[in-house]
């Protein structure tokens, strides 16, 4: 992980609007800024229509931003046409040229660079070798499986040795098993080539397992950037807490150093994660991960078990506290430990509660 | 995200998709050779007859349109003469009959093909298209062979002793009509098939399930579904049939002239180009009227969904 | 009680539709069978069968006028096909990029020759050519044919163009290709089946045309259909059937070829 080598990509206040068919306008990117370290693996994560693909397309040059700057290795590329940018894309649909063989597909970009024939042949072989498709160069894309087509698309982009490789939901068309394999494969390729990878996905598991850095998008804005673990443990907004993993979101009233939550009373200061409260006053939202919630049978408890189900090895418990239902997860709980109707005490251990922006 | 990228307009994403000016040579060519002839006809229809009859004299006149309605005696007296109006009317009538007969024949075959297994359908549609792609002249000539006094129909009838003398079928309005129907039938079958093919026949099954009879299902469920095809078919048959030349010429034997034969004569033996042009303008006017009528019906009945059907014969 | 009994297949059948369909197919093909059949008739009177012979084909194929007419037809069809395919390919690509009003206008121009009665188009072109002093003959016929061959050439090309995934172009641009390389290496090869199909259709349409050629032929521009027309006018012998059969055969071969190209999914 060579995150210290400086910046590969610097995006400053990039905005982009699209006209809607009804004649209105949609703000797809709202002054988005992002810095991508050289040789890193950055994941743009967010739900459909949040703008993450638009940003990728702006970087590729397939879309031109209304305002803002994009720098590649310190050089502005906003006005450089697509075909001159040293950035390549793996398209969601793969976009393989159906009338060319696999080898010709991979060679296409190199031919556009007017490289000598021998060098093209060598690079094509190397690229196919890298994605483990050696020997399939003479096939047509239509003769390959979905996973193999995906690898051709990768080889085709990697053969150009781009400064940044952009991957637009590259795994969404693959079935679950294949996707897991390709995730590992992509990580390996990124390590071996030490090319900067930038991947768009709406799958939070994918983002968590692959990225060195995750940028979470919400309605055209990047709401949080950081290593996956940090984003998971310290979600900044209600949206991030909810979108990444599961979270119980509760509303409370903040005053000074305490937060009062209906059904839970005043949360002790040590339950709160260190940052956050100071800034908040009045109505606040707090987020608690289900696996952090502790549940103990207690006759004088504050909640009633609504549902308790085993999923895999975990016990998923829904508890009604006051008007809200809290989800909790207990690993290695004995079957029958809890059942619907039990009165329990629900508590949040120290450091598990985060105050989040609405 | 796929849905957003598909609907978003792209500036740079247009790379390699060419530009509108790629169509410019074609458009200029078509302006010259499609719009040009139409304009020149309108102009010629207001000019005077040339001395020798070929071409025109550039003197403005409405005489060609006067000739449409009046005949002039040697003494220069004008009397109302409906001859040409009658021919125009007859042509429209022939076209209408052709379109209706084609419609009646096409609905069963189009629906029948649409309800065959998919692998049959393409082959059957191809069988319908083949006659369309063969020479109209030869297809019209075929009916001379079939309908003449010694032809297979008369021969068969005589052989069965149903008749002792051959029935005169060739050179009658009947022969012209048969020729027209034969020429235009594929233009009706294919658009109706295009509609029928898109129809989900499970809807018909649902209707049976609700207790409908076959006739009700046909009338209430299937026919409304193929309406765009019917409208497209009517356009593709009625309007071109209006200008038919070969069927009346070869099968009608001059007795059942249609407007095209009169126009052709003005540019040939009769040597009256302006009058021929005026007759052509009348044909264009009827064409426009028919298009407007179909457009109105189309908007009311199908919300404009006939484009696919109009192109179905390719 | 539901009436929906038996298999779904039989429910889709409406009474008599099958019988009517077979009769209609017979109506479409029997006349052509007679044309072909009587071309082997030894009798001079077409419809009175005397015996089997190939003589009419020998006579027709050695007839100088017919040979000349066939050559004219082929010259017209080949050149008209090339021109219409070239213009149609440009139109197909250009239409996509036009603003709505331009597209409607262009589309009306393209489709007009299919809707406007052919006689109007024929005499209009004649008047135009006489007015601007384009000599009648093979070249005049060719130009007029291009106008109504364009829609037939265009539709398969356009269908093909529309089936191309837009991200293909983006991928090509992303890999370093700009306009011309994309057109030459990506668009054109992908359009090829449509172009070939369109060319074949344009070729038949031109080859079979009678009315426009008839008015624009002038002296020396007689095409095969125009010659056949004069044969029918003069004296109907099985010779007419023989030439007609040959023309039918060419059409059949070409339309089958076009059909197979469009059906075949190469990619």
| A316-346 residue pLDDT tens | 889 988 888 889 888 876 666 788 888 888 8
Of the pLDDT bands very low, low, confident and very high (cuts 50, 70, 90), residue C37 is very high
Superfamily for the A7-233 domain: P-loop containing nucleotide triphosphate hydrolases (3.40.50.300)
Q: State the pLDDT at residue A339.
A: 81
Please report which helix (H) or strand (E) contains residue A42, including its range.
strand A41-45
Q: State the pLDDT at residue C50.
A: 85
Is A95's CB within 8 Å of C171's CB? yes
Q: How far is CA C149 from the centre of its chain?
A: 7
Q: Which residues of A touch C190 (CB under 8 A)?
A: 98-99
* % of chain B residues with pLDDT over 70: 89
Is C215's CB within 8 Å of B267's CB? yes
Spatial CB neighbours of A105, under 8 Å, sequence gap ≥ 6: A96, A97, A141, A152, A156
Query: Which residue would you say has higher pLDDT here, B219 or C2?
Result: B219
Of B227, B239, B237, B159, the C-alpha closest to B194 is B227
Spatial CB neighbours of A196, under 8 Å, sequence gap ≥ 6: A8, A9, A36, A37, A38, A39, A40, A41, A42, A163, A164, A165
Please report which helix (H) or strand (E) contains residue A126, including its range.
helix A117-130
What does residue A248 show for φ and ψ, rounded to 5 degrees?
-90, 120
Q: State the pLDDT at residue A358.
A: 74
Chain A: which residues have CB within 8 Å of chain C?
A: 60-62, 81-84, 87-89, 91-93, 95-99, 108-109, 112-113, 140-142, 156-157, 160
Q: Which residues of B touch A70 (CB under 8 A)?
A: none
Supply the Cα-derived Rg of chain A in whole angstroms. 24
Is C118's CB within 8 Å of B135's CB? no
Q: Which residues of B touch A64 (CB under 8 A)?
A: 11-12
Strands in A208-313 per DSSP E = 213-218, 221-226, 248-255, 258-261, 265-267, 282-288, 294-297, 303-311
Is C168's CB within 8 Å of A95's CB? yes
Written as six digits, the tokens of B35 are: 């719009």
Chains meeting C at 3+ CB pairs closer than 8 A? A, B
pLDDT over 70 (residue B213): yes
What is the interface size between A and B, counted as CB pairs within 8 Å?
Answer: 47
What does residue A72 show for φ and ψ, rounded to 5 degrees?
-115, 120
Q: Which residues of C touch A88 (CB under 8 A)?
A: 174-175
CA atoms of A49 and C256, how far apart (whole Å):
47
pLDDT over 80 (residue C266): no
Q: State the pLDDT at residue B97.
A: 96
Of C43, C227, C39, the C-alpha closest to B150 is C43
C169 touches chain B (CB under 8 A): yes
Which residues numbered 231-260 in A keep a CB inside 8 Å of some CB on B?
Answer: none
Of the pLDDT bands very low, low, confident and very high (cuts 50, 70, 90), residue B256 is low
What is the interface size between B and C, counted as CB pairs within 8 Å?
Answer: 317
C209 min Cα distance to partner chain A (Å): 36
* Segment of B25-39, B43-57, C162-176 carrying the highest mean pLDDT: B25-39
pLDDT over 70 (residue B4): no
* % of chain A residues with pLDDT over 90: 49
The 3-state DSSP class for residue A338 equals coil
Is B314's CB within 8 Å of C156's CB? yes
What is the bridge-based pairing of β-strands A41-45 and A196-201?
A: parallel
Query: Which residue would you say has higher pLDDT here, A263 or B289?
Result: B289
Is C97's CB within 8 Å of B277's CB? no
The 3-state DSSP class for residue A216 equals strand
Is C174's CB within 8 Å of A97's CB? no
**Closest residue to A91, CB basis, from C167, C181, C266:** C167
Written as six digits, the tokens of A73 are: 């290795």
For an interface test with C, the pick among B132, B137, B266 (most C C-beta atoms closer than 10 Å) comes out as B137
Q: State the pLDDT at residue C7.
A: 45
Q: State the pLDDT at residue B53.
A: 67
The residue in chain B having the minimum alpha-carbon distance to the alpha carbon of residue C22 is: B109
Q: Which residues of C touch B310 (CB under 8 A)?
A: 111
Is C27's CB within 8 Å of B185's CB? yes
Per-residue pLDDT reduced to its tens digit, A122-146: 999 999 999 999 999 999 999 999 8
What does residue C110 show for φ and ψ, rounded to 5 degrees?
-65, -45
Which residues numbered 19-38 in C keep a CB inside 8 Å of some CB on B?
Answer: 20-21, 24-25, 27-32, 34-35, 38
Looking at residue B34, the DSSP 8-state letter turns out to be I
pLDDT, average across residues B138-153:
91
Per-residue pLDDT reduced to its tens digit, C196-255: 999 999 999 999 999 999 999 988 899 999 999 999 988 888 999 999 999 999 999 999
Q: State the pLDDT at residue B306.
A: 63
- Starting at the edge strand that comes first in sequence, how are the strands of the sheet with A303-311 ordered? A294-297, A343-347, A303-311, A314-321, A324-331
Determine contact, residues B109/B189, Cβ cutoff 8 Å: yes
C182 min Cα distance to partner chain A (Å): 10
**Closest residue to A112, CB basis, from C168, C170, C181:** C181
pLDDT over 50 (residue C48): yes
- Starting at the edge strand that comes first in sequence, how are the strands of the sheet with A282-288 ordered? A265-267, A258-261, A248-255, A282-288, A354-356
Written as six digits, the tokens of A221 are: 């804005």
Is C267's CB within 8 Å of A142's CB? yes
Q: State the pLDDT at residue B22.
A: 87
Determine contact, residues C250/C144, Cβ cutoff 8 Å: no
Of A180, A200, A178, the C-alpha closest to A41 is A200
C101 touches chain B (CB under 8 A): no
For an interface test with C, the pick among A56, A107, A108 (most C C-beta atoms closer than 10 Å) comes out as A108
A19 touches chain B (CB under 8 A): yes
CA atoms of A105 and B72, how far apart (whole Å):
77
Give the C-alpha distances (Å, rounded to integers) separating B196 from A92, B116, B117, B226, C232.
Answer: 35, 11, 14, 6, 40
Please report which helix (H) or strand (E) contains residue A70, including its range.
strand A67-72
- What's the topology of domain A238-356? OB fold (Dihydrolipoamide Acetyltransferase, E2P) (2.40.50)
**Closest residue to C176, CB basis, from A92, A112, A141:** A112
What does residue B311 show for φ and ψ, rounded to 5 degrees?
-95, 5
What is the bridge-based pairing of β-strands A75-76 and A67-72?
A: antiparallel
Is A169's CB within 8 Å of B1's CB? yes
Q: State the pLDDT at residue C12.
A: 63
Mean pLDDT of chain C: 89
Q: Which residues of B touch A168 (CB under 8 A)?
A: 1
C37 min Cα distance to partner chain A (Å): 45
A82 touches chain B (CB under 8 A): yes
Q: Which residues of A touch C161 (CB under 8 A)?
A: none
Looking at residue A348, the DSSP 8-state letter turns out to be -
pLDDT over 60 (residue C189): yes
DSSP one-letter string for chain C: -----S-HHHHTPPTTHHHHHHHHHHHHHHHHHHHHHHTTBSSSSTTS---B-SHHHHHHHH-HHHHHHHHHHHHHHHHHHHHHHHHHHHHHHHHHHS-HHHHHHHHHHHHHHHHS-HHHHHHHHHHHHHHTTPPPSHHHHHHHHHHHHHHHHHHHHHHHHHHS-HHHHHHHHHTT--HHHHIIIIIHHHHHHHHHHHHHHHHHHHHH--HHHHHH--TT---HHHHHHHHHHH---HHHHHHHHHHHHHHHHHHHHHHHHHH----
Q: Which residues of B touch A62 (CB under 8 A)?
A: 10, 12-13, 15
Is C3's CB within 8 Å of B212's CB? yes
Is B182's CB within 8 Å of C228's CB? no
Of the pLDDT bands very low, low, confident and very high (cuts 50, 70, 90), residue B250 is very high
At the top level of CATH, the class of C63-261 is: mainly alpha
B70 min Cα distance to partner chain C (Å): 23
Q: State the pLDDT at residue B103.
A: 95
Is A97's CB within 8 Å of C177's CB? no
C57 touches chain B (CB under 8 A): no
For an interface test with A, the pick among C171, C180, C188, C192 (most A C-beta atoms closer than 10 Å) comes out as C171
Question: In sequence order, what are the beta bridge partners of C110?
Answer: none
Looking at residue B282, the DSSP 8-state letter turns out to be H
Q: State the pLDDT at residue B304.
A: 52
* % of chain C residues with pLDDT over 90: 64
Looking at residue A272, the DSSP 8-state letter turns out to be B
What is the pTM (predicted TM-score) of this model?
A: 0.84
Is C165's CB within 8 Å of A89's CB? no
Q: Which residues of C touch A112 (CB under 8 A)?
A: 175-177, 181
Is B11's CB within 8 Å of A63's CB? yes
Q: What is the pLDDT along chain A (358 residues), one digit of tens a residue?
A: 444 458 899 999 999 998 888 888 888 999 999 999 999 999 999 998 888 999 999 999 998 899 999 999 989 998 899 899 999 999 999 999 999 999 999 999 999 999 999 999 999 999 999 999 999 999 999 999 989 999 999 999 999 999 999 999 988 888 888 888 889 999 999 999 999 999 999 998 899 989 999 999 998 999 999 999 989 888 888 899 888 888 888 888 877 677 888 777 777 666 676 554 445 567 888 888 888 888 888 888 888 888 888 887 788 889 988 888 889 888 876 666 788 888 888 888 877 888 888 7
A200 touches chain B (CB under 8 A): yes
Task: Kindly report which listed range (A276-280, B37-41, B126-130, C45-49) carries the lowest average pLDDT score.
Answer: A276-280
Q: State the pLDDT at residue B166.
A: 83
Q: Which residues of B touch A81 (CB under 8 A)?
A: 12, 15
The residue in chain B having the minimum alpha-carbon distance to the alpha carbon of residue C85 is: B26
- Cα end-to-end span (Å), chain B: 35
Determine contact, residues B138/B244, Cβ cutoff 8 Å: no
Q: State the pLDDT at residue C43.
A: 87
- For chain C, which residues make up each domain, given as ranges? 63-261
Q: Interior CA angle at B91 toward C124 and C21, to 5°? A: 110
Is B165 exposed, middle or buried, given 0-12, 13-18 or 19+ CB atoms closer than 10 A? exposed
Determine contact, residues C123/B41, Cβ cutoff 8 Å: yes
Q: State the pLDDT at residue B28.
A: 96
């Amino acid at each position: 992980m060579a995150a210290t080598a400086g910046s590969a990509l610097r995006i400053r206040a990039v905005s982009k609007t699209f006209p809607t068919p009804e004649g209105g306008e949609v703000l797809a990117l709202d002054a988005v800024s992002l810095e991508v370290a050289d040789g890193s693996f950055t994941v743009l994560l967010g739900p459909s229509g949040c703008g993450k693909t638009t940003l990728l397309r702006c970087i590729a040059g397939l879309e031109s931003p209304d305002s803002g700057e994009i720098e590649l290795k310190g050089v502005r590329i906003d006005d450089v046409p697509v075909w001159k940018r040293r950035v390549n894309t793996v398209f969601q649909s793969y976009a393989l040229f159906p009338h060319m063989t696999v080898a010709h597909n991979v060679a296409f970009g190199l031919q556009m660079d007017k490289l000598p024939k021998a060098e093209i042949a060598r690079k094509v072989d190397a690229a196919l070798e890298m994605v483990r498709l050696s020997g399939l160069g003479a096939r047509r894309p239509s003769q390959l499986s979905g996973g193999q087509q995906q690898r051709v698309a990768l080889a085709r982009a990697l053969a150009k040795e781009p400064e940044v490789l952009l991957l637009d939901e590259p795994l969404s068309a693959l079935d679950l098993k294949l996707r897991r394999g390709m995730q590992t494969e992509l990580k390996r390729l990124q390590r071996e080539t030490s090319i900067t990878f930038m991947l768009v996905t709406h799958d939070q598991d994918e983002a968590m397992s692959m990225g060195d850095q995750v940028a979470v998008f919400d309605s055209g804005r990047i709401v949080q950037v950081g290593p996956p673990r940090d984003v998971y443990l310290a979600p900044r907004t209600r949206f991030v807490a909810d979108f990444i993993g599961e979270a119980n979101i509760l509303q409370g009233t903040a005053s000074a150093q305490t937060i009062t939550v209906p059904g839970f009373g005043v949360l002790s200061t040590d339950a709160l994660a260190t940052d956050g409260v100071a800034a908040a006053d009045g109505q606040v939202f707090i987020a608690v991960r289900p696996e952090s919630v502790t549940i103990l049978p207690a006759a004088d408890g504050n909640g009633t078990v609504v549902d308790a189900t085993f999923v895999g090895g975990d016990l998923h418990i829904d508890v009604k506290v006051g008007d809200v239902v809290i989800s909790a997860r207990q690993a290695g709980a004995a079957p029958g430990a809890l059942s619907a109707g039990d009165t329990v005490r629900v508590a949040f251990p120290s450091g598990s509660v985060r105050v989040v922006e609405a | 995200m796929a849905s957003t990228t598909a609907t978003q307009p792209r500036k740079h994403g247009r790379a390699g998709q060419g530009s509108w000016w790629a169509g410019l040579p074609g458009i200029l060519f078509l302006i010259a050779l499609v719009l040009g002839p139409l304009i020149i006809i309108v102009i010629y229809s207001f000019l005077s007859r040339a001395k020798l009859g070929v071409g025109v004299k550039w003197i403005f006149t409405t005489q060609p349109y006067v000739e449409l309605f009046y005949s002039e005696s040697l003494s220069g007296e004008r009397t109302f003469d409906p001859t040409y109006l009658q021919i125009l009317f007859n042509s429209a009538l022939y076209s209408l009959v052709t379109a209706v007969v084609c419609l009646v024949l096409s609905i069963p075959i189009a629906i029948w093909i649409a309800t065959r297994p998919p692998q049959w359908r393409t082959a059957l549609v191809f069988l319908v298209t083949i006659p369309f792609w063969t020479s109209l002249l030869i297809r019209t000539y075929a009916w001379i062979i079939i309908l003449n006094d010694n032809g297979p129909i008369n021969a068969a009838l005589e052989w069965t002793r149903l008749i002792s003398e051959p029935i005169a079928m060739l050179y009658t309005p009947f022969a012209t009509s048969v020729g027209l129907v034969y020429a235009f039938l594929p233009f009706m079958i294919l658009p109706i098939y295009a509609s029928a093919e898109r129809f989900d026949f499970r809807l018909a099954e649902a209707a049976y399930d609700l207790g409908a009879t076959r006739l009700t299902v046909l009338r209430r469920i299937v026919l409304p579904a193929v309406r765009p095809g019917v409208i497209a078919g009517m356009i593709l048959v009625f309007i071109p049939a209006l200008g038919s030349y070969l069927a009346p010429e070869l099968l009608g034997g001059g007795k059942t002239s249609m407007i095209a034969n009169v126009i052709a004569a003005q540019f040939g033996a009769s040597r009256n180009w302006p009058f021929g042009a005026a007759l052509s303008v009348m044909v264009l006017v009827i064409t426009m009227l028919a298009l407007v009528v179909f457009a109105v019906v189309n908007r009311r009945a199908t919300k404009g969904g006939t484009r696919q059907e109009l192109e179905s014969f390719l | 009680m539901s009436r929906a009994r038996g298999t779904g297949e039989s429910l889709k059948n409406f009474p008599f539709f099958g019988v009517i369909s077979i009769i209609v197919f017979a109506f479409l093909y029997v006349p052509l069978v007679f044309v072909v059949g009587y071309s082997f008739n030894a009798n001079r009177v077409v419809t009175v069968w005397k015996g089997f012979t190939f003589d009419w084909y020998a006579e027709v194929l050695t007839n100088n006028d017919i040979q000349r007419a066939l050559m004219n037809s082929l010259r017209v069809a080949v050149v008209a096909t090339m021109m219409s395919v070239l213009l149609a390919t440009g139109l197909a690509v250009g239409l996509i990029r036009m603003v709505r009003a331009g597209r409607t206008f262009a589309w009306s121009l393209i489709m007009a020759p299919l809707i406007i009665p052919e006689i109007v188009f024929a005499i209009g072109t004649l008047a135009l050519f006489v007015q601007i002093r384009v000599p009648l003959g093979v070249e005049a016929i060719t130009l007029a044919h291009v106008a109504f061959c364009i829609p037939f050439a265009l539709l398969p090309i356009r269908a093909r163009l529309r089936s191309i995934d837009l991200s293909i172009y983006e991928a090509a641009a992303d890999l370093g290709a700009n306009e011309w390389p994309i057109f030459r290496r990506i668009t054109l090869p992908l359009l090829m089946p449509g172009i070939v199909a369109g060319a074949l259709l344009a070729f038949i349409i031109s080859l079979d045309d009678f009315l426009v050629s008839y008015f624009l032929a002038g002296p020396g521009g007689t095409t095969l259909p125009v010659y056949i027309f004069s044969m029918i006018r003069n004296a109907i012998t099985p010779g007419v059937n023989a030439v007609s059969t040959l023309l039918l055969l060419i059409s059949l071969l070409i339309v089958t070829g076009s059909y197979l190209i469009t059906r075949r999914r190469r990619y």
